[in-house]
């Protein structure tokens, strides 16, 4: 993998309200994020549909970021030296997970209607990404129902390429690494890397790394199957004890104590297992808020963000290690030497 494509990135601003991106607070948030040695940022755009069974994707004047918001955020990112992945996303107002958007096989007309709406949505942002110079575009996130529609998905990717000349990445869920044949049409296969890496009891780094090595095996099979680079389009874990047993869980478990160390160890071992694989091209960690709380409140936050937590120190250290390996001046150093020097 070309080292210029390796993403040391973070998803920034998910579910921000319209107008948030253009605030001074958001600028400071992005500056803090970039200070951790990142070279990429993933900026999501939130669109909606009524339920998992709806056929219409639409914008909301309160929840969907305006094109001006997006342009402002991208300009700021580029001023900080960051490359940009634009990530249009769909969420359901009935709180259904977007992977459950699906229709009965005996009613293909529903898929026809849905894809007509989704394609219009995606092409708008593909054109915007081209206009604003985004280096990458994500064409879907954890859309398992959609992803089963092979011919329709191939058509979507072809239409995107007519208006967008950058890197096309598609984000599938963990466990679906070889499930969808049409992924051969994209440039990078992105995976939501919410893999359980502990059993909730044995939560030390040794056990985590052992599980990550198993994950790497399945990712390598996907790479060989599709002959495409692989990345973690999303990856992260909450700041709670036992969180590494169910990293995908977005809900607070108030019966569990806070655990910065477990969150930090998840970051550390994920990077250690993957950073030097020639077919692996990086991470968009999940997620960093556009509007940050006061720093003195950061450690009380149970969410995925590592802002103000031990995980932020591990993130910064990890990007330094990756830089050492990717830097052409350091290619004479082998992995063992770098790991020893940087205490991995």
Distances from the Cα of 125 to the Cαs of 65, 154, 157, 160, 205, in angstroms? 11, 18, 13, 9, 40
**Whole-angstrom Cα distance, residue 244 to residue 35?**
26
Q: Which residues, listed in sequence order, are joined to residue 232 by a DSSP beta bridge? A: 191, 283
DSSP 65: P
With tokens 């004890």, the residue in question is 241
Residue 78's nearest CA partner among 151, 132, 120, 29 is: 132
Can you list the alpha helix ranges (DSSP code H) found in 133-233?
A: 144-147, 150-163, 205-226
Q: Are 228 and 157 in contact (CB under 8 A)?
A: no
Q: Are 139 and 169 in contact (CB under 8 A)?
A: yes
Q: Are 84 and 135 in contact (CB under 8 A)?
A: yes
β-strand pairing of 7-12 with 40-49: parallel
Which three-class secondary structure state does DSSP give residue 137? strand
pLDDT score for 212? 97
Task: Indicate if the pLDDT at residue 1 is higher than 80.
Answer: no
For 133, the domain range is 3-341
pLDDT tens figures, 85-115: 999 999 999 999 999 999 999 999 999 999 9
pLDDT score for 200? 79
Task: Indicate if the pLDDT at residue 297 is higher than 80.
Answer: yes
pLDDT score for 332? 46
Task: Indicate if the pLDDT at residue 193 is higher than 50.
Answer: yes
Task: Indicate if the pLDDT at residue 331 is higher than 90.
Answer: no
- Overall number of domains in the chain: 1
How is residue 1 written in tokens? Answer: 């993998």
**Sign of the Cα pseudo-torsion (264, 84, 129, 13, in order):** positive
Q: Are 301 and 237 in contact (CB under 8 A)?
A: no
Mean pLDDT of the chain: 93
Strand stretches in 50-148, DSSP E: 83-92, 136-141
Backbone angles phi, psi at 172, to 5 degrees: -100, 170
**What CATH number is attached to the domain comprising 98?**
3.20.20.80
Number of Cβ within a 10 Å radius of residue 334: 11
**Mean pLDDT over residues 274-299, rounded?**
96
Quick one: what percent of the chain has pLDDT higher than 70? 93
pLDDT tens figures, 156-186: 999 999 999 999 999 999 999 989 999 999 9
Which band of pLDDT confidence, cut at 50, 70 and 90, is reported for residue 316?
very high
Would you mind telling me the total number of residues written for the chain in this entry?
Answer: 344
Backbone angles phi, psi at 245, to 5 degrees: -85, -25
pLDDT score for 186? 98
**Whole-angstrom Cα distance, residue 173 to residue 90?**
15
**Whole-angstrom Cα distance, residue 224 to residue 233?**
19
């Amino acid at each position: 993998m070309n080292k210029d494509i390796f993403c040391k990135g973070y998803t920034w601003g998910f579910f921000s309200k319209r107008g948030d991106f253009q605030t001074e607070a958001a600028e400071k948030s992005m500056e803090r994020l970039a200070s951790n040695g990142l070279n990429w940022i993933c900026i999501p755009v939130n669109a909606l549909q009524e339920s998992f069974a709806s056929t219409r994707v639409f914008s909301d004047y309160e929840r969907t970021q305006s094109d001006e918001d997006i342009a402002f955020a991208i300009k700021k990112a580029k001023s900080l030296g960051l490359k940009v992945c634009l990530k249009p996303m769909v969420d359901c107002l009935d709180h259904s997970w977007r992977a459950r958007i699906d229709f009965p096989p005996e009613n293909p007309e529903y898929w026809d209607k849905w894809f007509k709406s989704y394609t219009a949505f995606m092409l708008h942002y593909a054109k915007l990404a081209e206009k604003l110079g985004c280096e990458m575009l994500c064409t879907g996130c954890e859309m398992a129902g959609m992803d089963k529609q092979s011919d329709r998905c191939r058509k979507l990717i072809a239409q995107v390429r007519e208006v967008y000349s950058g890197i096309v990445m598609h984000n599938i869920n963990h466990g679906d690494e070889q499930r969808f044949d049409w992924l051969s049409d994209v440039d990078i296969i992105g995976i939501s890397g919410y893999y359980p890496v502990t059993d909730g009891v044995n939560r030390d780094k040794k056990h985590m790394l052992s599980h990550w090595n198993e994950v790497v095996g399945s990712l390598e099979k996907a790479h060989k199957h599709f002959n495409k680079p692989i990345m973690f389009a999303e990856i992260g874990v909450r700041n709670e004890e036992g969180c590494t047993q169910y990293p995908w869980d977005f809900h607070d478990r108030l019966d569990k104590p806070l655990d910065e160390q477990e969150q930090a160890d998840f970051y550390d071992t994920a990077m250690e297992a993957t950073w030097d694989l020639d077919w692996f091209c990086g991470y968009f960690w999940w997620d960093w808020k556009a509007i940050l709380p006061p720093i003195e409140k950061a450690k009380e936050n149970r969410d995925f963000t590592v802002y103000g937590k031990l995980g932020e120190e591990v993130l910064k250290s990890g990007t330094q290690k990756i830089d050492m390996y990717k830097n052409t001046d350091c290619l004479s150093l082998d992995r063992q030497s770098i790991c020893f020097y940087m205490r991995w």
